[in-house]
Amino acid sequence: MEFVKAHGTGNDFVVVEDLTDRYDLTPELVRAICDRHFGVGADGVIRIATGTEAPFFMDYRNADGSLAEMCGNGVRVVGKYLGDRGYVAGAFDLETRAGVKRLELHADNRGGIDRVTVDMGPPTLEGERTVEVDGESVTATCLSMGNPHAVVFVDDVDKAPVTTLGPRLETHPAFLPAKTNVEFAQVVDRATVRQRTWERGVGETLACGTGACAVAVAAQVRGLAGRPLALELRGGRLDLDWTPGGTVRMTGPAREVAHGTLTDEFLASAR
pLDDT at 271: 78
CATH class of 124-246: alpha beta
Residue among 39, 89, 50, 48 at smallest CA distance from 71: 48
Q: What are phi and psi of 82, to 5 degrees?
A: -70, -40
Helix (H) or strand (E) holding 7: strand 2-8
Task: Report how far residue 198's alpha carbon sits from residue 234's, in angstroms, rounded to the nearest whole number.
Answer: 12
Give the DSSP per-residue string, 181-215: EEEEEEEEETTEEEEEEEETTTEEES--HHHHHHH
**What stretch(es) of the chain map to CATH 3.10.310.10?**
2-121+254-269, 124-246
Max Cα separation, the chain?
56
Please say whether the beta carbons of 216 and 229 come within 8 A: yes
pLDDT at 75: 97
Residue among 6, 4, 14, 10 at smallest CA distance from 238: 10
Task: Report DSSP state, residue 173.
Answer: G
pLDDT at 155: 97
**The model's pTM:** 0.92
Helix (H, G, I), strand (E, B) or coil at 15: strand
pLDDT at 217: 98
Domain 2-121+254-269: which topology? Diaminopimelate Epimerase; Chain A, domain 1 (3.10.310)
Buried b (16+ CB within 10 A) or exposed e, 157-169: beebebeebbbeb
Task: Report how far residue 178's alpha carbon sits from residue 79's, in angstroms, rounded to the nearest whole number.
Answer: 27
pLDDT at 257: 97
Query: Which positions are catalytic?
Result: 71, 208
Task: Report how far residue 54's alpha carbon sits from residue 71's, in angstroms, rounded to the nearest whole number.
Answer: 17
Task: Report how far residue 126's alpha carbon sits from residue 255's, in angstroms, rounded to the nearest whole number.
Answer: 33
Helix (H) or strand (E) holding 91: strand 91-96
Task: Report how far residue 159's alpha carbon sits from residue 254's, in angstroms, rounded to the nearest whole number.
Answer: 28
Residue among 128, 118, 121, 158 at smallest CA distance from 224: 128
- Burial class of residue 198 (count of CB atoms within 10 Å of its CB; 0-12, 13-18, 19+): buried
Name beta bridge partners: 143: 125, 149
Per-10-residue mean pLDDT, the chain, length 271:
97 98 96 97 98 98 94 97 97 97 96 96 96 95 96 98 97 96 98 97 94 98 97 97 97 97 94 78
Name beta bridge partners: 183: 151, 197
Torsion angle of C-alpha atoms 106, 107, 108, 114, degrees rounded to 10: 60
